[in-house]
Amino acid sequence: MKKLFLLSLATITLICTTNLFAQFGEPEVRKKEIPKNLYDEGYKSGFGFIFGANDFGFGVGGQYRKVITRYTEAHLTFRINGIKDPREQTFIDYFFGTKTVPDKYQRVISFPLSIGLKKRFFAQEVSDNFRFFGSVSGGPVMAFSYPYFNDQNDNGFRENDPQLYQSFERTNDIFTGWKDGNWHLGATGSAEIGIDFNSNFSRLQSMTFGYNFYYFANGLQILEPSKPLTDQNNFPRYQGGQLQTTTSYEPKSYYGSAQISFVFGWMWD
What string of DSSP letters covers 241-259?
A: TEE-EEE-PPPEEEEEEEE
259 and 188 in contact (C-beta within 8 Å)?
no
Instruction: Tell how many helices (H) and how many strands (E) occur in the chain.
Output: 2, 14
User: Which of 132, 257, 260 minimizes the C-alpha distance to 189?
Assistant: 257
User: Mapping DSSP to helix (H, G, I), strand (E, B) and coil, where does residue 74 land?
Assistant: strand
What is the C-alpha separation between 220 and 217, in angstroms, rounded? Answer: 9
Cβ–Cβ contacts within 10 Å for residue 19, how many?
9
pTM of this prediction?
0.82
- C-alpha pair distances (Å), 178 with each of 108, 142, 156, 182, 188: 11, 15, 17, 9, 24
Using CA atoms, how far apart are residues 158 and 165, in angstroms rounded to an integer? 10
pLDDT, averaged across the chain:
88
Q: pLDDT tens track of the chain, all 269 residues? A: 444 444 444 544 544 454 444 444 555 655 667 888 888 889 999 999 999 999 999 999 999 999 999 999 999 999 999 999 999 988 887 777 677 889 999 999 999 999 999 999 998 887 778 899 999 999 999 999 999 999 988 999 999 888 888 888 889 989 999 999 999 999 999 999 999 998 888 999 999 999 999 999 999 999 999 999 998 888 999 988 889 999 999 999 999 999 999 999 999 98
Cα–Cα dist 61/261, whole Å:
10
Q: Which domains does the chain have, with CATH numbers?
A: 35-268 (2.40.160.20)
Distance CA 64, CA 263 (A): 11
Give the model confidence (pLDDT) of 123-142 as tens digits.
888 777 889 999 999 999 99
Reduced to 3 states, what is the DSSP secondary structure of residue 40?
A: helix
Q: Which of 217, 213, 192, 223 is nearest to 255 (CA)?
A: 213
